[in-house]
Amino acid sequence: MTLPLLADPQQAIWLVPTEAFKRRSHAERDTSAWRFETSDPERVYRHHVERDLRLAEHYRRALREHGLPWLEVDGSLRVDELVDAVAARFARWL
């Protein structure tokens, strides 16, 4: 993982969804628009979810490997609580 735009990797944080959260958030989405674009919207939906899960796992591994800061998002925090957690991470720069 390259970090070309970061002077200090500690000045960033990544939000990475858990598998359960990602599946739940996808299930709550309106996928009716996909029905006009494909003859198999369920397959498209499954591939879309699986792609997102693979991407999240890729980032999770890379962030651990490089010791970079990240928060796992599992839906247990309200949006304002998540914002507070991120703000606390950057408190010394705010």
Amino acid (1-letter code) at residue 12: A
State residue 67's pLDDT score: 86
**DSSP H or E segment with residue 40:** none
Count CB atoms within 10 A of the CB of residue 86: 12
Q: Which of 55, 64, 63 is nearest to 19 (CA)?
A: 55
Backbone angles phi, psi at 5, to 5 degrees: -100, 5
| pLDDT tens per residue across span 17-60 | 999 999 898 888 776 665 667 778 788 888 888 999 999 999 99
Helix locations, the chain, DSSP H = 19-27, 41-66, 79-89
pLDDT in tens, 7-18: 777 788 999 999
Say yes or no to pLDDT of 6 above 80.
no
pTM score: 0.76
Cβ contact 5:64 at 8 Å: no
pLDDT at position 12: 87
- Give the pLDDT of residue 59: 92
